[in-house]
Amino acid sequence: MPTRNAGATTRHAADAPLHGRAGGSEPPPLQSQALLAGARVRVIEHGTERYFLRLTRNGKLILSK
């Protein structure tokens, strides 16, 4: 999301589309079945933070902290 600073708009790298980043191509997709490996919940560590990837009864994925 752009931020405004004294009338200027700054875009963050995380906001850029994948095809607009260095390298110019989208990384290959990961299948959710491969991430979950048969489990309904997986813990993902990102730096010092822990996130939980959950598969709901309706087949939806939820990522929470």
Per-residue confidence in pLDDT tens, the chain, 65 aa: 454 555 555 555 555 555 555 667 899 999 999 999 999 999 999 999 999 999 999 999 999 99
Question: Is pTM beyond 0.85 here?
Answer: no
Q: Where are the domains of the chain?
A: 39-65
Measured distance between the N- and C-terminal CA atoms of the chain, rounded to whole angstroms: 21
DSSP 43: E
The angle subtended at Cα 36 by Cα 35 and Cα 37, nearest 5°, is: 95
Distance CA 31, CA 34 (A): 5
